[in-house]
Chains A and B, each alone.
Chain A
Amino acid sequence: MEDKNRFDLEKALRAWREDCASRPGISLEDAKELESDLRERVADLQQQGLNEADAFQEAARQVGSPGVLAREFARENPWAVWHDRLIWMVVAGFAVSVWRFMSYGTISSILSTFGVLLPFHFSTGALVTLAGNLPVLALAVLLATGKIAKLAGRFDYFLQSRQRFAFTGMGLLAVGVLLRVFGPNPLLPPEGLGLTILYLLSLSAWPLVLLSFGVFLIRPISSGESARSRFQMVTVPSAVWRERVCWMSLGGLMLGLWQVVSGLGIRAVFYPGNINKPLNMGPLLLSVLLVVQLSPFIILVLLRQRMRKGKNIAGVGRRRLFIIIPTLLCAWIGLNLWSSYLSVPQGFTLSLPALLTSYLSTFHWFWQFSLAALLLWLAPSRSGQRQHSEFAK
């Protein structure tokens, strides 16, 4: 009979490596290298006569705690931390925008056919919002809890080379746009070839910007020969996915806010004085829309140098997040409400309760609240030291 309390060296090493890898600043490959160092030390100490458990404890003490290691790694290469965070924000933004292209027509046509069978009544728009967002959020929760770790591990394949990422992304985007324009319940492009091209471009501008930023970022994730190495980490620890999903949600929150801000900015530029005039898709407006939507990309490229030198790498304390995230959320919702108020045609009056009711019934808030909730749930509390209970016997 094997003793259940017996020290399992492999398990302890794995837990230690996963703890390292979940820290921003330490990549999966770094964690693997540190683990290999730890193994050497354990073997040396065992040769000196220590038992497995004592050798592991002593070796772990020599190497240093994952928290301290992460700080030292981040100090030497602060850009790596932000690189990792940014890439997941961008990947998530891209995936969600392409998913919306792909799913919108299909979901809305299914709902307009079978929606009457539902036991409750909602507008089709609200149902589409719900049906489109729920799978994304479910996926995020599954990823963050490590329920689909194996499947998620396959995803890293697309991040190992720039070409692979670019081609997969372009393919997905093309399918998405084609589905949106020619698929079920299509969005009809305006008359004229030039206008159609501009329209398609403006439709896919956002995912295109995110995709190109992703391609721009992707290089350092597979440094040197390790990407082609036989010795790859097969599964990504769930703690790493937790961290990634956390940054994905923040990316979503910020992108959403940005889209409303840029939308309002365009209205303000084009309709000074008469802001209630309904929007029409002229070529000038479409071009400006393109430029405005490109601006975060330009800003990020300009900020790259700053981020390289960035000093403040440790995450924000949990308590501060409880202020920052609701503020972002309120700003987004407030701007959304203002934006829908502005689009009310002149001559009509809309009271605040009516505006709120219509906003609630569209279920747009669902996405915003879910992102904020995801973020608050996943946000790591960096102020407190993480417990290393798994190493204890």
Chain B
Amino acid sequence: MISKDLVAASARPLILSLLSGGESYGYELTRRVRELSQGNLEWSDGMLYPVLHRLEREELVVSEWKQSDTGRERKYYRLSSGGRRSLQAERQQWLTVHNTLCKLWKIKTVSI
């Protein structure tokens, strides 16, 4: 299980990356991150939505209420152009940390 602090810290790049693949809504983001992490990353609503709203206030994501195919109303989020730029910066930072750790642990690094 991943520590609470790390879950909170990684939420931002994860949300931005998930949204770079197309618009999505809160519950789907939670579900997808759970699948991708094989159940190791469990987002609570109390963590996810405030982060999403913060990203919206920072104009990195744009939201819109839409009706889904099932007739349910959902608030969809999508990446803005500022969000794409922010994702690039996040990517660089996270890969730098990743590579530093890889070198220390003598694992193959990735190219940034």
Contacts and interface: CB of A to CB of B under 8 A. Distances in A.
> Are A and B subunits of one complex?
yes
Given A33-B75, A37-B26, A72 B65 contact: no
Contact of B49 (A33, A39, A224): A33
B94 to A, nearest CB: 21
Interface residues of A, number: 28
Contacts of B84: none
A73 B48 CA distance: 10
A19 to B, nearest CB: 14
A86 to B, nearest CB: 18
Contacts of B70: 43
A239 to B, nearest CB: 20
Given A39-B72, A41-B27, A223 B49 contact: no
A37 B50 CA distance: 14
A229 B49 contact: no
A231 B65 contact: yes
B27 A76 contact: no
A37 B45 contact: yes
Interface string B92-104: 0000000000000
B73 A30 contact: no
Interface string A59-72: 00001100011011
Contacts of A30: 49, 53
A16 to B, nearest CB: 12
B63 A231 contact: no
A226 interface: yes
A72 B47 contact: yes
Contacts of B49: 30, 33-34, 37, 73
B65 A229 contact: yes
Chain A contact surface mostly: helix
A40 interface: yes
B32 interface: no
A340 B54 CA distance: 51
A77 B50 contact: yes
Nearest to B59: A224
A41 B25 CA distance: 13
Given A33-B49, A36-B74, A223-B57, A64 B65 contact: no
A3 interface: no
B46 A224 contact: no
A75 to B, nearest CB: 7
A230 interface: yes
A40 B72 contact: yes
B68 to A, nearest CB: 9
Given A33-B26, A41-B27, A77 B44 contact: no
Interface string A29-51: 11011101101110100000000
Interface string A209-226: 000000000000001111
Interface string B64-78: 110100101111000
Nearest to A26: B49
Given A69-B46, A76-B54, A224-B56, 20 more contacts: A30-B49, A36-B75, A37-B49, A39-B72, A40-B27, A63-B45, A71-B46, A72-B50, A75-B50, A76-B50, A77-B57, A223-B57, A224-B62, A225-B63, A225-B64, A225-B65, A226-B65, A226-B75, A229-B64, A231-B73
Interface of B: 25-27, 44-47, 49-51, 53-54, 56-57, 62-65, 67, 70, 72-75
6 contacts: A36-B74, A37-B27, A37-B45, A72-B50, A77-B53, A231-B65
Q: Enumerate the 10 nearest inter-chain pairs by beta-carbon distance, A residue then B residue, closest first.
A: A76-B50, A72-B46, A40-B27, A231-B65, A229-B65, A37-B27, A33-B75, A63-B45, A69-B46, A231-B73
